[in-house]
Structure 1
Amino acid sequence: MTALVNFWAMIGGLCLALIVALTAVNVGALAADMVLRGWDIRVPGIYGYEDVVKLLASVAALAFFPLCQWRGGHVAVGLLIDPAPRWIGRVNRVIAQALTTGVALFLAWWMAIGALEVRRDGLTTGILEWPQWPFYWPGVVSMLLWALVAAVMTLNALKGEEAVHGPA
Structure 2
Amino acid sequence: MKLVERLASQWALLGGILLLAIMIVTSVNIAAFGMDRVARLFGANVSALPGYEDFVRLAISCTALMFFPYCQVKRGHVVVDLFASSFPLWLVRLLDRVWLLTILSLAVFLLYWMVLGMIETYEDSALSPVLGWAEWPFYVPGILSLFLWAAVAAGQAVRGDHHV
Q: TM-score range by the shorter chain?
A: over 0.9
Partner of 2:132: 129
Tell me the percent identity.
Answer: 38
Q: Aligned equivalents of 1:82 and 1:59: distance in 2?
A: 37
Q: Is the 8 A contact 2:5 2:152 kept in 1?
A: no
Please list the CA deviations of residues 81-134 of structure 1 after superposition, one character each: whole Å capped at 9, or x if unmatched: 111110111001111111111111111111011001001011111211211100
Aligned length: 161
Where do residues 59-138 of structure 1 align in structure 2 (5 Å cutoff)?
59-138=62-141
> What is the CA RMSD across the aligned residues, in angstroms?
1.2
- Deviation of 1:155 after TM superposition, in Å, equals 1.1
Q: Aligned equivalents of 2:62 and 2:13: distance in 1?
A: 11
Q: Aligned equivalents of 2:51 and 2:157: distance in 1?
A: 43
Partner of 1:38: 41
Q: Is the 8 A contact 1:156 1:162 kept in 2?
A: no
Where do residues 133-148 of structure 1 align in structure 2 (5 Å cutoff)?
133-148=136-151
**Which ranges in structure 2 are unaligned for 5 or more consecutive residues?**
none
| Secondary structure of the structure 1 residue equivalent to 2:83 | helix
TM-score normalized by the length of structure 2: 0.94
**Which ranges in structure 1 are unaligned for 5 or more consecutive residues?**
none
- Deviation of 1:162 after TM superposition, in Å, equals 4.2
| 2:30 maps to amino acid | V
Q: Aligned equivalents of 2:86 and 2:129: distance in 1?
A: 53
